[in-house]
Structure 1
């Protein structure tokens, strides 16, 4: 028997969403306690089909069935009704659950059947609730008024459950979309670190090591060496790879807006704040925040950044509430932060917080033969952008690129290749294979050799002026010709002192002597 108190208790039970129980099943459980039955099912309307969402007393395969409404007279009658509908125990209409009751094998004998259509506030049919009992008089004492109230409660709960399911689906879709867009953005320009030099092999090993941790990382290196690429690799190899990597260039931050950029602001927090806005820390919550040019950050912001690193606490501009974020910080700078600390331009405590695991990206001039590998990578990229079927570097160009000291590092090499390819395409547009020659590269070796030597305080080979006619030479022949000339030139400059020559060429002395013998260079001893 249903009474007002039991209806109130059911309403209170339905109002308390149990996160441990699926909401459709929660509705079934509440109804089963109020009106005991042998079988109960909650079905939602999808076009002209009813889909079971939760069942009790029916075989598990019922959840996989889809009931076409016009093929099941009882379900059709419930859907067409505006109020709960009880079928006579001897109703001739076939039951959609024949053979599906757990309590009875085979066809359902004479039994009680109750159906409730469930509508939303706009009187749109959401679904139906069906109850079956092997006791033919099980539902006889239920009043239509109480059943109508119960139907309204069930409809409200179903409507909320369906909306929640829709929101969750949208949230999952949005999350997956963000992850896909984030990964696409990270990988669009490539994430592979090109290079086989010892410096780059060591860097790759360090990236794999630190990526697996949650340590803050400070990436140091000259402008154009690829610090952002290192940060992307750390993020993609970390446990946070499915979460966003948010980029913030500290050098481009106006001091009066820096706090808002970091922590967001509330509507009306300051002049021009016409709407609330999340800061980079909120956007990066659960993921990684890459702070580029951290050495340019104003001192006032350094103390606030330190607080976040220490406690994870942030405070939105214009709000009193303290929020917590879970963000891994990777910072990068081309400055010597130790010197900045010594001169009072950077906080020592922040420096130590950021540099839990420092990484140094070597300049291109210290990466030995990586120049040609990188040039090949950029040639392929540029050919694709310029719609060139085949683009290559001449032997002379390769030699030229290895001679240059690259003060602008990898970024400069990329730009040189891009400009040279454009010039080569303009001059050779009728040719099947476009070749980049030294004339396209616009590099002044002589002008830069003294400057770079002074800058790096290293002894380097002077600009090579020996011309190589490669038209009838293979790559090996051209390389041997170049190597022969370079070694001979350096031996003469060092009075045939093999040790000094080896140091200048950055090779082992014994290897240099063996290479000279193979190339037919006379071996003279230095006294």
Structure 2
């Protein structure tokens, strides 16, 4: 029943009430144009409600089917947010939802109150109190309820219904704004997900695995064997050997090829963002989280997730990754809800993860989960004449880019390519060909349509001579392992120092010249004592 006792207001009281309403509603109107988390909008809404209409407790509940879920509370015990009220089991909620106007229950109503015992600071069941509820409508449909409760049975006798209706209109607008923002965020996230999937699919499809050496053929055979399964694969190998290309080949040959292949370089992100990138976050989970965002696992649902440089993951994230691998369930940052995903995982690293486990930098249980099927990608120096096949592939890419009829390799250039040990592997070869072709074209004044790359254009002679100086004499007895390691270390140090001199101590430029990831170059420099 609607309580009909209203107190007649004087003109002065009416003016004071109007000012109070204006003071309470103005901040809410201003909030409509601000970017705020949902829970903060709702908190401010209830705060203004209680300031305008004195009550001991207030709540905003959203209707989901036959259930009301509290989204925000003020004056009720915190566990109220975890409750779900089935409307059919609460007659007061049924009445509130059945009428378009606000409803006030009589103090002696025998209908049980859903908030009995939940008002903060009060023990036991509340026998008598004042209760007022208002339905909220969004786009003409019932969205939920606003409720006010007071311990004093006459607290709402002086409520101005016109002011309450004005507040309800603004509350509905607030809810509508939240709904619209969430809808736009979901649409934006879906578009971003599709764009990322298309981008990664196109980048994977533009490259193929090229080679005819026995080492390459063995790798291809291993890929074909494991691709037909759903086993987790750990791809190992030196920097620049093409581990991402291997992951793409496994996905393309698998039953998941029609689904996305999503990649994440774990070394390219600060520790604070890795968890969000993997598992996603909800709006307001941390500073800057202005919208819900799905992580890489959800984007790869049904397909394959490739984690490059997995050895760089922080230990805390490793524990959460292990949980997802064990049961396929994940939680976005800031969310209590679990998501089930079906993802085939391929991980890659240039680290010795077994040694990382022994050193305590990588979890042993995660290592065993990742290395169900290990695949080692051979370095370029072990692939013989594959270097010429790959050089031809990169030359053709540059020929098209530079608008030339043909680019050829001279005999001495081919010999130089075969002699070089390629510490940066295929990535170094790719960058070398692109750089050499561009320089050769720039120095060719006639700009011929057919360009010949010589050993001088490749500028590998200095590196080869350094390598020969550092290498042991093949006629001599084999060196001890530490001597070999010392020679390799000296060779690496000389390469980095020479590149630093050429690039004026610019580490980013050195990384580009050597064909190394910046993070890998930083680790190498620290190991060599250069940083």
2:455 alignment counterpart: 438
Match of 2:466 among 423, 444, 447: 447
Which residue in 2 is equivalent to 1:392?
408
Distance apart, 1:174 and its partner CA: 12
Q: Kindly indicate whether the alpha-carbon contact (under 8 Å) linking 2:229 and 2:254 is maintained by their aligned counterparts in 1.
A: yes
SS in 1 for 2:281: coil
CA shift, 1:452, in A, is 6.3
1:286 to 281, 289, 302: 302
Tell me the residue number matched to 2:311. 295
C-alpha spacing 1:279/1:178, structure 2 compared with 1 (3 Å): closer
**How do residues 394-433 of structure 1 correspond to structure 2 at under 5 angstroms?**
394-428=410-444, 429-433=446-450
Paired position in structure 2 for 1:261: 277
Kindly indicate whether residue 240 of structure 2 is the aligned counterpart of residue 221 of structure 1: no
Q: Do the aligned residues in 2 keep the contact of 1:405 with 1:449 (CA within 8 Å)?
A: no
Match of 1:314 in 2: 330
8 Å Cα contact 2:234/2:347 also seen in 1: yes
Rounded Cα–Cα distance in structure 2 between residues aligned with 1:292 and 1:455: 29
In the alignment, the residues of structure 1 paired with residue 324 and residue 281 of structure 2 have an alpha-carbon distance, to the nearest angstrom, of 16
Over 3 Å counting, the alpha-carbon distance change for 1:419 and 1:455 in structure 2 is: farther
SS at match of 2:291: coil
CA distance in structure 2 between the partners assigned to 1:432 and 1:335 by the alignment: 44
Q: What is the rounded CA distance, in whole Å, between the counterparts of 2:448 and 2:309 in structure 1?
A: 44
The Cα RMSD (Å) is: 2.6
Task: Report SS of the residue matched to 2:294.
Answer: coil
> 1:387 Cα shift?
1.2
Structure 2 counterpart SS, 1:194? coil
Contact 1:223 1:409 in 2 (8 A): yes
> Would the aligned equivalents of 1:211 and 1:235 in 2 still touch at CA under 8 Å?
yes
- Decide which of 354, 357, 363 is 1:341's aligned counterpart: 357
SS at match of 2:432: helix
Distance 1:174 1:426, change over 3 A: closer
1:235 is aligned to 2:251 = yes
What secondary structure does 1:308 align onto?
A: helix
Q: Secondary structure at the match of 1:291?
A: strand
CA contact (8 A) 2:239 2:350 kept: yes
Among candidates 358, 373, 381, match of residue 374 of structure 2: 358
Q: With CA pairs under 8 Å and 6+ residues apart, which has the higher RCO, 1 or 2?
A: 2
Distance 1:183-1:246 versus aligned 2 partners, 3 A rule: closer
Q: Find the residue that maps to 2:293 and give its secondary structure.
A: coil
Other-structure match for 2:204: 186
Q: Is the Cα–Cα contact under 8 Å of residues 266 and 318 in structure 1 kept in the other structure?
A: yes
Distance in structure 2 (CA, Å) of the matches to 1:314 and 1:203? 33
Query: Quick check: 1:292–1:331 contact (8 Å CA) kept in 2?
Result: yes
The offset of 1:184, in angstroms, is 2.6
**1:323 Cα shift?**
1.1
On the 8 A contact 1:302/1:350 being kept in 2, the answer is: yes
In structure 2, runs of 5+ residues without a counterpart are 1-138, 140-190, 473-482, 489-531
How many Å separate the matches in 1 of 2:210 and 2:281?
40
Alignment correspondent of 1:92: none
Moved more, 443-452 or 236-245: 443-452
1:176, CA displacement in angstroms? 9.8
Q: Secondary structure at the match of 2:433?
A: helix
Residues 416, 254 of structure 1: alpha-carbon distance in 2 compared, 3 angstrom cutoff = same
Native 8 Å contact 1:294 1:331 kept in 2: yes
So what's the TM-score if we normalise by structure 1? Answer: 0.52
* 8 Å CA contact 2:238, 2:350 repeated in 1: yes
- Determine if contact 2:391/2:429 at 8 Å carries over to the other structure: yes
Contact (CA 8 Å) 2:204, 2:245: kept in 1 or not?
A: no
The 1:272/1:452 distance shift into structure 2, 3 A limit, reads farther
CA contact (8 A) 2:277 2:295 kept: yes
CA gap 1:205/1:325 in 2 versus in 1, 3 angstroms: same
- The answer to whether the 8 A contact 1:416-1:441 is kept is yes
Residue 341 of structure 2 corresponds to residue 325 of structure 1: yes
Distance 1:230 1:458, change over 3 A: farther
Structure 2 counterpart of 1:104? none
Residue correspondences, number: 287
1:408-433 deviation digits (Å, cap 9, x = unpaired): 11111111111111122123343231
**What do residues 40-80 of structure 1 show as CA deviations (whole Å, max 9, x unaligned)?**
xxxxxxxxxxxxxxxxxxxxxxxxxxxxxxxxxxxxxxxxx
Q: Deviations over 1:489-518 (max 9, x none)?
A: xxxxxxxxxxxxxxxxxxxxxxxxxxxxxx
Q: Secondary structure at the match of 1:204?
A: helix
| Structure possessing the higher radius of gyration over alpha carbons | 1
8 Å CA contact 1:214–1:328 kept in 2: the answer is yes
TM norm structure 2: 0.51
Q: Describe the SS at the equivalent of 1:234.
A: helix
Check conservation: 1:405, 1:452, Cα contact below 8 A.
Answer: no
Alignment-derived partner of residue 378 in structure 1: 394
- Residue aligning to 2:9: none
- The alpha-carbon deviation at position 252 of structure 1 amounts to 1.9
Query: Unaligned 5+ residue runs, structure 1?
Result: 1-120, 122-172, 460-527
Q: Distance between the aligned counterparts of 2:437 and 2:233, measured in 1?
A: 37
The residue aligned with 1:137 is: none
